[in-house]
Amino acid sequence: MTAKNTSAWTELQNLADAFGGTHLRDLFARDAQRFEHFSLRYEGMLLDFSKQRITSEILAALHTLWHVAEVPALMSSMRTGELINQTEGRAVMHMALRHSGAEPRYVGRNDVMPDVRRMLNKMEKFCADIHLGRWRGATGEPIRHIVNIGIGGSDLGPKMAARALTANRAKNIRVDFVSNIDAADLSSVLENCTPANTLFIVASKTFTTQETMRNAVSARAWLVAALGEAAVAKHFVAVSTNLKAIAAFGIDPENSFEFWDWVGGRFSVWSAIGLSLALAIGMENFRQLLAGAEAMDKHFFAAPVEKNLPATLALLEVWNTNFLGAQTRALLPYSQSLELLPRFLQQLEMESNGKHIDRDGNPLQCASAPIVWGETGTNGQHAFYQLIHQGGRLIPCEFIAFIEPDFDLPEHHAMLLSHCFAQSEALMIGKISEEISNGVSSAPTGEIPSLAPYKTFLGNQPSTTLLLDRLNPFSLGQLIALYEHKVFALGALWNINSFDQFGVELGKQLASRLLPMIEGRASIEGIDSSTAGLIAASRK
């Protein structure tokens, strides 16, 4: 159902009009218990959304919208394996990858859990063989360097998680990731590789992805030049379903790891796509990651909307985007280990919900996914926070922090948290000219009036803070699954299919057409003058 055509949407619009320029300062002044009224807790997670520009009446109206838009019904359809990705005729069952119970999980009439468990066991054996030195390279040396070659969901999820869990990394194993077709990416990794102890994982469901296969062919040539053709079978494995292409490449099909079309790329870190991650942190930690995600699954499906963390994040996004007019959201993790999380969520959220057609094939009647961007604190404070504070744009902000550090150096973590909490406070309260005057009363005569406008901060910038106990595999699993469910919920509220990505394909198709022109194998005909001019210039 299109939520925009409901009375609940109209009620929210009326509330937004009446809310007007109400300042967050005033909301806190009116309610001394605002933090308690607008925060949620679940298994080591605290979601504080008291600094959002909402009231109890607005929050209640958002909860009504959740039911009017029939989100719970679509949740049930997803969980039971219905083909909710209707444009591609596929189920959406990535949750089965972290399901540990005895209950079946069906796609159609097929229980997928035996295949899921078989693949996890195969990954576990492979990781043990690598970590214990049972898998040897062509020269008899143990593998010490893993290079994952993929792109998009076959790269960004495991890369982000491996970086986040650096404190949990396995000893004596280095894992690198190559995704960009730019030769600088692969070349810079190969410079630090020794052929005899390097293993490449080629991650491509079809084994035809252009960027991945170009990098894989180049890595293969590098290996063969050093160790010979026969070495390929000992130094390459594949995450794919195209066994024929795998064998033609020189990889033993027994050394391939399957995943399924009911697993979307950006939701695939839980599958064999996470093999590089499992090698980086160990299979026991990988299973903890799955356990954290499963815990969030249970919460999402069991908790009422009033207590539901993913639902609350989704509804706040709808409020900020569709009723307050925000066009972006800043993601601000105060954890250097989460430095790749903004990039990961750019793909997860904007590739999923960056759509202008609804599930019924009609033009969308409201704005969908905002632009997601961000950087770790405190680095971002010295880059773009100036614009957030005084740029005059509405930019909802999302802070993520941990009570305990994953790396402990004296005095570092308390200082980090002080900056995180201070920024959310400053965005909320701002600083008005009267406070500036009081704060610089010793300034020379005439300075205060001239400087006050420059030192004024309007505040009233909405933010949410997600505070977790500690960054570890379990909590990271919770965090990723939290955003996955938020993405699904937003798709349901906006009545769009969050699980196709046809917008990714057009550029690929045109690139295949232009490649022979750039290489001089085809004439530059039938294309626009700008593209023709660029190709001509590149051929010089």
| pLDDT for position 540 | 77
Beta-sheet pairing, 397-402 with 463-468: parallel
- Can you give the CATH number for the domain in which 231 is found? 3.40.50.10490
Cis peptide upstream of residue 22 (ω within 30 degrees of 0)? no
Residue 433 and residue 384 share a domain: yes
Structural domains of the chain, count: 3
Catalytic residues, by residue number, are 351, 382, 508
Residue 470 and residue 342 share a domain: yes
519/180 Cα distance (integer angstroms): 19
Ramachandran area for residue 528 (φ above 0: left; ψ -120 to 50: alpha; else beta): beta
How big is the CA angle at 223 (ends 219 and 229), to the nearest 5 degrees?
115
Any domain includes 317: yes
387/369 Cα distance (integer angstroms): 21
Q: Which 3-state string (H, E, C) describes 376-443? A: CCCHHHHCCHHHHHHCCCCCCEEEEEECCCCCCCCCHHHHHHHHHHHHHHHHHHCECHHHHHHHCCCC
Report yes or no: 373 and 342 within 8 Å, Cβ to Cβ. Answer: yes
Residue 210 and residue 123 share a domain: yes
Any domain includes 248: yes
Range of the domain at 16: 3-81+289-437+447-494
Residue 70 and residue 40 share a domain: yes
Any domain includes 392: yes
Residue 204 and residue 271 share a domain: yes
Residue 415 and residue 368 share a domain: yes
Q: Which of 281, 299, 320 is the last residue of a domain?
A: 281
131/96 Cα distance (integer angstroms): 27
| DSSP code per residue over 190-243 | HTT--GGGEEEEEE-SSS--HHHHHHHHHHHHHHHHHH-GGGHHHHEEEE-S-H
Any domain includes 93: no
Report yes or no: 38 and 48 within 8 Å, Cβ to Cβ. Answer: yes
Residue 487 and residue 368 share a domain: yes
Residue of 501, 484, 480 whose CA lies nearest to 160: 480
| pLDDT for position 433 | 60
85/89 Cα distance (integer angstroms): 6
CA atoms within 13 A of residue 112's CA, in its CB half-sphere: 25
Q: What is the pTM of this model?
A: 0.95
Name the maximum alpha-carbon separation found in the chain: 83
Q: Which 3-state string (H, E, C) describes 151-188? A: CHHHCHHHHHHHHHCHHHCCCCCEEEEECCCCHHHHHH
In the numeric block, the tokens 């699980």 are attached to 499
The residue type of 181 is I
255/252 Cα distance (integer angstroms): 5
For 185, the token pair is 């990416």
Residue of 169, 162, 173, 165 whose CA lies nearest to 133: 173
| pLDDT for position 314 | 98
Residue 534 and residue 483 share a domain: no
Any domain includes 22: yes
SS3 category, 537: helix
Contacting residues for 207 by C-beta, under 8 A, at least 6 apart: 213, 238, 240, 242, 245, 246, 249
For 465, the token pair is 């803070």
Calculate the CA dihedral of residues 477, 291, 50, 303 and round it to 10 degrees: 140
Residue 301 and residue 406 share a domain: yes
The residue type of 152 is G
Report yes or no: 374 and 333 within 8 Å, Cβ to Cβ. Answer: yes
| pLDDT for position 440 | 46
Ramachandran area for residue 195 (φ above 0: left; ψ -120 to 50: alpha; else beta): alpha
| pLDDT for position 505 | 83
Residue 232 and residue 337 share a domain: no
Distances (CA, A) of 49 to 6, 28, 207: 26, 12, 44
Contacting residues for 390 by C-beta, under 8 A, at least 6 apart: 457, 458
Residue 460 and residue 481 share a domain: yes
307/366 Cα distance (integer angstroms): 26
| pLDDT for position 4 | 84
- What is the chain's pLDDT, residue by residue, as a tens digit (540 residues)? 678 889 999 999 999 999 988 999 999 999 999 999 999 999 999 999 999 999 999 999 999 999 999 999 999 999 999 999 999 999 999 999 999 999 999 998 999 999 999 999 999 999 999 999 999 999 999 999 999 999 999 999 999 999 999 999 998 999 999 999 999 999 999 999 999 999 999 999 899 999 999 999 999 999 999 999 999 999 999 999 899 999 999 999 999 999 899 999 999 999 999 999 999 999 999 999 999 999 999 999 999 999 999 999 999 999 999 999 999 999 999 999 999 999 999 999 999 999 999 999 999 999 999 999 999 999 999 999 999 999 999 999 999 999 999 999 999 999 999 999 999 999 999 987 666 556 544 444 455 678 888 989 999 999 999 999 999 999 999 999 999 999 999 999 999 999 999 988 888 888 999 999 999 999 998 899 999 999 999 987
Residue 531 and residue 409 share a domain: no
219/245 Cα distance (integer angstroms): 16
Contacts 24+ apart (CB under 8 A), 228-231: 228/138, 230/138, 231/137, 231/138, 231/195
421/438 Cα distance (integer angstroms): 24
280 phi, psi to nearest 5 deg: -70, -40
